[in-house]
Amino acid sequence: MSLQSRIANHGDNSSRLDDSHLVSGYRVKLLEEIDLAEMSTLSLHERRARLERVLGHIISREGPVLSTAERAQLVRRVVDEALGLGVLEPLLEDASITEIMVNGPEHVYVERSGRLERLHHVRFTSHEQLMQTIERIVSTVNRRVDESTPMVDARLKTGERVNVIIPPLSLTGPILTIRRFPRAYALHEMVALGSLDEHMVMLLSSLVRASFNIIVSGATGSGKTTLLNALSGLVPEHERIVTIEDSAELQLQQSHVITLESRPANVEGNGQITIRDLVRNSLRMRPDRIIVGEVRGGETLDMLQAMSTGHDGSLATVHANNVDDALTRLQTLASMSDVDIPFAALHDQINSAVDVLVQLTRFADGSRRISEIAVLDSHGRDEYRLVSLARFDAGPMGADGRVPGHFTHLPLPPRAAERLRMRGEAIPAAFGVAQYEEQLAIREAR
């Protein structure tokens, strides 16, 4: 007998009840009986255990007679709902899941170790139940989602980033995408994951300490924020750092850090503060370094100006597929500013602002690696000249589903090497300058 028909047999007018009424009825009773203030001091695991115990008492006291399996199912659903995000709660609890994707009530996917997986056993009972969960999420951050605002970005209190898009924009039903708050990795942990090697760690550490302006480039989800965080961790303790992001994900350990976060417009469409507003404001805050989570609009020009006028050692990320594209993209974004700047002047701006580009690539096996480190070695209005310092040469995917490959290292151009030396930084042996002229000749001959 199904849970629903069992309940229908139980009470006087309960034949009108369906599962979701039953679940929400018990949820209300459960919330009446627990001490919310005390609950907030417990971990998610403890909260679940507490709710299960209290609900068990309530069902024994006033509920229908249920089989062990039915009872367990009812308890699970009520507790999932009471905890806030219904069937998503256990997924949020699972640390191996980095992303949760809900495509309408019946299709739930997760990303684990860089790979997508469909979870056939997880589903919402209806379109309405999924919408309720979505509304619960966005209302906690004072946003709303409906036909007039069918697209919303929000962040859960626990840091997860949420995007919602609903019909009529989505023809696949309400879509919910939850990105877990990215775990911070130190560069040496990324070495263990195969994302770079020890020589590159030494090089990047020297470049950050010597205040090179660095742009991290990559596609969505390629690990830009994670690398930006690791690089930021190398900034010396005595410097004043201002970080600027759309949703604060960086987790800097230094003591002198100011964290700024942009703000979307409120429900009435007012009060928006953009990344650009924050970059401009940060210039009046005497920063030693400005770290911008991602440039994607006119703020790029302000960022480039800051980089070339005394805020050396600044860091930012940009969305691009390789280092050459990253430069073109920076140029396009900078030209989106309201200041009308001639093309050649933008070229000049980028040549003098950007010192190093670090490209991230997400490979077919889900791994994220630094696929190139390049120095921008051109001046003034010259054509961009990128000199590659490190590369990942990938081989074809093996039978084990892994993408093999190795890192190669190339010598630093003399100007960059000199700058490191002037800052008291050793040149890591793998990037020694001795063969530079020779390499240059080979490259130019090609």
Ligand X SMILES: Nc1ncnc2c1ncn2[C@@H]1O[C@H](COP(=O)(O)OP(=O)(O)OP(=O)(O)O)[C@@H](O)[C@H]1O
Binding site for ligand X (CB under 6 A): 98, 182-183, 190, 193, 195, 218, 220-226, 368
- d(CA 230, CA 216) in angstroms, rounded, equals 11
- What is the smallest separation between the CB atom of 218 and Mg ion, expressed in angstroms? 9
225 binds Mg ion (CB under 5 A): yes
Label residue 381 left, alpha or beta by phi (over 0 means left) and psi (-120 to 50 means alpha).
alpha
Residues contacting residue 229 through CB under 8 Å, at least 6 positions apart:
182, 184, 185, 249, 250, 251, 252
Stretch that binds Mg ion, among 23-31, 220-228, 254-262, 360-368 (CB under 5 A): 220-228
Residue 287 binding result from Mg ion, ligand X, none, given CB thresholds of 5 to 8 Å by partner type: none
Instruction: Name the residue nearer to Mg ion (CB basis): 225 or 262.
Output: 225
- What is the smallest separation between the CB atom of 270 and Mg ion, expressed in angstroms? 27
- What is the smallest separation between the CB atom of 97 and Mg ion, expressed in angstroms? 18
For β-strands 368-376 and 214-218, DSSP reports them as unpaired
262 binds Mg ion (CB under 5 A): no
Inter-residue contact 284 to 307 (CB < 8 Å): no
x/- binding map, residues 332-371, to Mg ion, per CB under 5 A?
----------------------------------------
- What is the smallest separation between the CB atom of 74 and ligand X, expressed in angstroms? 34
Task: Provide, for the chain, the percentages of residues in helix, strand and coil under a 3-state DSSP scheme, each rounded to the nearest 5.
Answer: 40, 20, 40
- What is the smallest separation between the CB atom of 245 and ligand X, expressed in angstroms? 10
Residue 339 binding result from Mg ion, ligand X, none, given CB thresholds of 5 to 8 Å by partner type: none
Give the DSSP letter string of 42-103. Answer: S-HHHHHHHHHHHHHHHHHHHS----HHHHHHHHHHHHHHHHSSGGGHHHHH-TTEEEEEEE
- d(CA 432, CA 411) in angstroms, rounded, equals 5
Q: Which two tokens stand for residue 392?
A: 């990942």
Instruction: Name the residue nearer to ligand X (CB basis): 63 or 223.
Output: 223
98 binds Mg ion (CB under 5 A): no
Q: How open is the CA angle 391-370-180, to the nearest 5 degrees? A: 170
In this chain, which residue has its C-beta nearest to ligand X? 223
Instruction: Name the residue nearer to Mg ion (CB basis): 256 or 296.
Output: 296
Instruction: Name the residue nearer to Mg ion (CB basis): 83 or 323.
Output: 323
- What is the smallest separation between the CB atom of 87 and ligand X, expressed in angstroms? 21
- The residues of the shown chain that bind Mg ion, judged by CB under 5 A, are 224-225
